Chain A
Amino acid sequence: DAKTTQPPSMDCAEGRAANLPCNHSTISGNEYVYWYRQIHSQGPQYIIHGLKNNETNEMASLIITEDRKSSTLILPHATLRDTAVYYCIVRVGGGSEKLVFGKGTKLTVNP
């Protein structure tokens, strides 16, 4: 599975959009981009995933660049409860099933 690079920490004001970048320049054609988050010491929570098209669900939007070498997770209206570590993971669809977590980005939403 390709490696990802994320900033170690980011801050965001409550109510504003949080844009979390992820670099995955060695991604291959059959690898999906997944985002999970971990609030404090709770179990990681699935947020969203995509292959090449932009995706949106009730939690967030995922924007993948045309060359697929980077992506951005967007939380449109961040709340204090969105303070968490956000993990960007690339994973072969239908391939190695396990998720390999990096260090992620610690997002702090400030009042």
Chain B
Amino acid sequence: DSGVTQTPKHLITATGQRVTLRCSPRSGDLSVYWYQQSLDQGLQFLIQYYNGEERAKGNILERFSAQQFPDLHSELNLSSLELGDSALYFCASSRFPAATNEKLFFGSGTQLSVL
């Protein structure tokens, strides 16, 4: 158990809909990362937050947004869903993202299926 909690584990929805994925980082971790994993693209970095502020952005679509709340949990919002958005979405957390020995701890993921 990594200590990172993601909910829900599975989500089935229809095209055009909007969903919210939730992540609670490990106790004491200030930084949260979101990754998308689809069969043909591998693990793709989406976005990172540190202590409530956006820190780095990857290949995140404009239809997707995220935020980190004062209690440090994070939510990833996906809107106008398309079939191609079906993927595993992972959240990871770390304590000091710029430290030389920093490790990321990943949650077990949310499997999103868009039908």
Contacts and interface: CB of A to CB of B under 8 A. Distances in A.
B43 A97 contact: no
A102 interface: yes
A102 B42 CA distance: 7
A38 B108 CA distance: 11
Contacts of B90: 43-44
Interface string B87-115: 01010101001111111111111010000
Contacts of A49: 101, 103
Contacts of A101: 35, 42-43, 45
Interface residues of B, number: 30
Nearest to A41: B88
Interface centre among A36, A98, A101 (most CB of B within 10 A): A98
Contacts of B106: 43-45
B42 A97 contact: no
B103 A46 contact: yes
Interface string A10-43: 0000000000000000000000101010100111
A100 B56 CA distance: 12
B99 to A, nearest CB: 6
Interface in A82-111: 87, 93-103
Interface in A33-70: 34, 36, 38, 41-46, 49
Give the size category of A's interface with B.
20 to 34
B58 interface: yes
Contacts of B99: 93-94
A1 B45 CA distance: 14
Interface string B73-96: 000000000000000101010100
A49 B94 CA distance: 15
25 contacts: A32-B100, A41-B109, A41-B111, A42-B108, A42-B109, A43-B4, A44-B43, A44-B92, A46-B103, A46-B104, A49-B101, A49-B103, A87-B43, A93-B99, A94-B98, A94-B100, A95-B98, A96-B56, A97-B48, A97-B102, A98-B45, A98-B56, A99-B45, A101-B42, A102-B42
